């Protein structure tokens, strides 16, 4: 397989053929993010520095909370999340509650559904994060999904209700909003602490 020119997608397998986790294990270790969604192979370039800073800010805030309230674990990419034999993703961040850890955490990856998934968008991934990935996380039963948009300094929060995601709650840095989640009782972080100044790095 090879990259389709001008996209972050690989050339498709023969019609009707879906790639599986066994195929995923053969992908090159090239520093890029490789994912399978419904058997299709997607490749994403390495993230920008601002993307990394935002990820680090969220991770640090949740990790600090979990040191005081050891109710689960927070992980950051790269870490394979095997949702099915044809769905293998690498979210920017994910949280697994302690009561679910024994079911989904292995020595190498997550095999099952995290409680929280965080995707930080970019020009090449924003549309996918809000369409096929959102639908994948919804049908897989992810409790909460955050779409973080560095271009607008916003976070959209999707929470599972009645077997589907409820309409998104949109939080904005310029409105002084604060992020909380019922998955982490008492956790709070202002969006001004998540989004660093844009230095175009």
State yes or no: pLDDT of 201 exceeds 60: no
Per-residue pLDDT reduced to its tens digit, 95-146: 999 999 999 999 999 999 999 999 999 887 888 888 999 999 999 999 999 9
Report residue 11's pLDDT band, with 50, 70 and 90 as the boundaries: low
Report residue 92's pLDDT band, with 50, 70 and 90 as the boundaries: very high
User: If you average pLDDT over residues 11-30, what whole number do you get?
Assistant: 84
pLDDT given at position 117: 98
Angle subtended at Cα 34 by Cα 33 and Cα 37, rounded to the nearest 5 degrees = 125
pTM to 2 decimals? 0.89
Top pLDDT among 15 and 190 is at 190
Question: Among 23-27, 118-122, 153-157, 197-201, whose mean pLDDT is lowest?
Answer: 197-201
Upstream peptide bond of 78 is cis (omega within 30 degrees of 0): yes
N residues, the chain: 201
Q: What percent of the chain has pLDDT over 70?
A: 91
CA separation for the pair 135, 189 (Å, rounded): 27
Half-sphere exposure (Cβ direction) of 19: Cα atoms closer than 13 Å? 21
Domains of the chain: 47-194 (3.90.1570.10)
């Amino acid at each position: 397989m090879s990259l389709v020119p001008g996209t972050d997608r690989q050339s498709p397998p023969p019609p009707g053929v879906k790639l599986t986790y066994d195929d995923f294990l053969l992908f090159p270790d090239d520093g890029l993010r490789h994912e399978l969604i419904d058997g299709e192979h997607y490749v994403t370039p390495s993230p920008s520095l601002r993307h990394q800073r935002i990820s680090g800010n969220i991770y640090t805030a949740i990790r600090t909370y979990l040191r005081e309230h050891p109710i689960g674990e927070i992980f950051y990419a790269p870490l394979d999340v095997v949702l099915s034999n044809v769905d293998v993703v690498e979210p920017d961040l994910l949280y697994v509650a302690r009561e679910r850890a024994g079911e989904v955490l292995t020595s190498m990856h997550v095999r099952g559904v995290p409680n929280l998934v965080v995707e930080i968008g970019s020009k090449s991934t924003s549309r996918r994060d809000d369409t096929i990935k959102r639908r994948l996380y919804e049908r897989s039963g992810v409790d909460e999904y955050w779409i973080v948009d560095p271009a607008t300094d916003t976070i959209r929060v999707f929470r599972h209700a009645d077997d589907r995601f409820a309409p998104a709650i949109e939080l904005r840095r310029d409105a002084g909003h604060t992020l909380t989640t019922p998955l982490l009782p008492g956790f709070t972080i202002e969006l001004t602490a998540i989004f660093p100044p844009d230095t175009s790095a």
